Amino acid sequence: MKEKSLDFSFKYGALFIIALVLIVFSIINENFMTYDNIADILRSISIVMFVAIGVTLSQIVDGFDLSAGSTVSLATVSAAAMMVWYDQPFYLVILVPLLIGAIIGFLNAVLIVKVRIPDLLATLAMMYIIGGIQKTYTKGFSIYNNMRFQDGTVAPGKFTSEFLWIGQGKLVGVPVPVVIMLVAVIAVHVFLTYTRWGRQLYITGGNREAARLSGISVNKIRFAAYVLSGIFAAIGGILYASRVGSGQIDAGSPLLMEAVAAVFVGYSVLGAGKPNVIGTFFGAVLIGVLLNGLTMLNVPYFGFDIVKGGVLVLALAITFVHLNRRKA
């Protein structure tokens, strides 16, 4: 009986909690289940979801990317700088942050795969380096329209309507960030589940030596996972800049914890027992619903970290109790 209840909680616990939270908040506040509020919840998790996809990919190859939040911050200010400071065309505003994300992922991979620094330590060091770079580059100032430089001149560019549409616009009544997020989730799920490269990621993470003996280029797969993690974090940074209409320093710092919590909640969705993008999506939904409901209840924002930490502890407890029981 105990084993059956543990299996049930592992497979359906996250979905049950999401449903329960939705019901409770709907009873407390009649505006909670309106279309506009649900759209706001999905829009709010779209940025976190891109960070979480990157973390999921690094977890699949048995790694961890702690630099994802700082990558979001650097991508945010670089996109803003390309528009406001340098008045560059739209394609460069998108391309430069993506390139920065890829470079950060590549450097992470070099440190982890080639230099063989443990992933947590390597990405922790990169997190501090990237954070220092974005603060040094911006001199600690956020980037916004019509900002003045220290010499008194006004920045020549501004946030364009086409860029702001990415984060603020709607497509057939659905927020554009939500559409982009859903497309990304489906595409990554298909990639991981139905392609040879996706299966190689899981094989590499499951048993590196067995993967090597089966002919898989383990190092290349691990490199690809970290580069993709950096790129997805950069997409999150672009969405952040387009949503708020400014380049906020340290924009991605609070997103890492939410992304990690979403990934570990995802382990238990439908009993996956491993990193997976569909589970990560439901984990992000759970966190988004909780934070939105608490906001509607006027709970002070400084209490939100308690909720995030609690969700992470619960997800870790359920996941590792189940995994340890399977090993035993």
176-195: pLDDT as tens digits: 999 999 999 999 999 999 99
**Average predicted confidence (pLDDT) for the chain:** 89
Q: Quote the tokens at residue 110.
A: 């070099």
Q: Among 87, 70, 75, which residue's Cα sits nearest to residue 257?
A: 70
Residue 270 has pLDDT above 70, yes or no: no
Lowest mean pLDDT among 108-117, 221-230, 298-307, 312-321: 312-321
Give the residues across from 269 on adjacent strands: none
116 by Cβ neighbours in 10 Å (0-12 / 13-18 / 19+) ranks as: exposed
What pLDDT is attached to residue 221? 95
Residue 311 has pLDDT above 80, yes or no: no
Q: Is 247:135 a contact under the CB 8 Å cutoff?
A: no
Query: Domain spans of the chain?
Result: 1-33+257-328, 54-253
**Environment class of residue 42 by beta-carbon count within 10 Å: exposed (0-12), middle (13-18) or buried (19+)?**
buried
Task: With a cut of 60, say whether residue 271 has pLDDT above it.
Answer: no
pLDDT digits (tens, 9 = 90+) for 82-141: 999 999 999 999 999 999 999 999 999 999 999 999 999 999 999 999 999 999 999 888
Q: Which residues contact 28 (CB under 8 A, 6 or more apart)?
A: 293, 297
Four-CA torsion 110, 114, 117, 122, nearest 10 degrees: 0
Task: Record the tokens describing residue 208, joined without a space.
Answer: 């590196």
